[in-house]
């Protein structure tokens, strides 16, 4: 009787620790080892980032909504399908990421206004992204205005041409 009881306890204990093992195993497979940060080598000039990423992305955001007035009448322009909204969102987030690129390495001209103005671009891009997620035409329109202002502010101070 005693032996049977102990066998039961032992097997119960094995069973529980087995479960523990599985749980621990599941946890460890989900925990990604913190990889060593890869060495980042900035390649593009600010001008290339502007022409290659910022301007094309801004064009998509600016061009996605608005009112087109022509002889044919007034047409409200807005993304229609989920895919169209998502495409505008992708461009909005490209603006956010390009703001990250602008402060990487020695691209930041200084640690004050340049950083602030890059952040303003990132924030306006984030607002545009959220507006696309909410499928808000007005939201994209006003975020677009904020994006445009962030471009102008930085160019006024830093674009030498
Ligand atoms: C943090 C500062 C900053 C922000 C924000 C910024 N730019 Fe620029 N941009 C610059 C600088 C500096 C130059 C000049 C680069 C050069 O000539 O080397 C430039 C140049 C440009 C050029 C001209 C590139 C050429 O071929 O001469 C375009 C186009 C441009 N920016 C578009 C934009 C747009 C669109 C936005 C906003 C969505 C924007 N930029 C936001 C700093 C900024």
pLDDT digits (tens, 9 = 90+) for 52-85: 999 999 999 999 999 999 999 999 999 999 999 9
Mutate to test the pocket of ligand 1, among 155, 156, 160 (most ligand atoms within 8 A of CB): 155
Confidence band of 153 (pLDDT split at 50, 70, 90): very high
Query: What does the pLDDT look like over 82-133, one tens digit per residue?
Result: 999 999 999 999 999 999 999 998 999 999 999 999 999 999 999 999 999 9
Q: Whose CA is nearest to atom 3 of ligand 1?
A: 154
Confidence of residue 36 (pLDDT cuts 50, 70, 90): confident
Residue identifier of the C-alpha nearest atom 11 of ligand 1:
159
The alpha carbon dihedral of 109, 111, 113, 116 has a sign of positive
Q: Which of 91, 119, 159, 160 to mutate to test the pocket of ligand 1 (most atoms within 8 A of CB)?
A: 159
Q: What gap in Å lies between CA 87 and CA 61, rounded to an integer? A: 9
The rounded radius of gyration (Å) of the Cα atoms in the chain is: 27
């Amino acid at each position: 009787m005693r032996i049977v009881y102990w066998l039961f306890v032992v097997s119960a204990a094995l069973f529980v620790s087995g479960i523990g093992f599985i749980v621990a195993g599941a946890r460890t497979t989900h925990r990604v080892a913190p990889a060593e940060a890869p060495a980042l080598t900035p390649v593009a000039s600010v001008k290339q980032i502007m022409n290659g990423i910022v301007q094309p992305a801004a064009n998509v955001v600016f061009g996605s909504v608005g009112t087109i007035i022509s002889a044919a009448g007034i047409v409200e322009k807005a993304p229609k399908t989920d895919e169209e909204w998502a495409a505008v969102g992708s461009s909005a987030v490209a603006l956010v990421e390009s703001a990250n690129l602008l402060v990487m390495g020695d691209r930041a001209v200084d640690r004050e206004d340049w950083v602030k103005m890059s952040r303003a671009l990132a924030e306006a891009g984030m607002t545009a992204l959220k507006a696309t997620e909410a499928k808000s035409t007005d939201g994209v329109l006003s975020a677009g205005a904020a994006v445009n202002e962030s471009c102008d502010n930085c160019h006024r101070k830093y674009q030498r041409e």
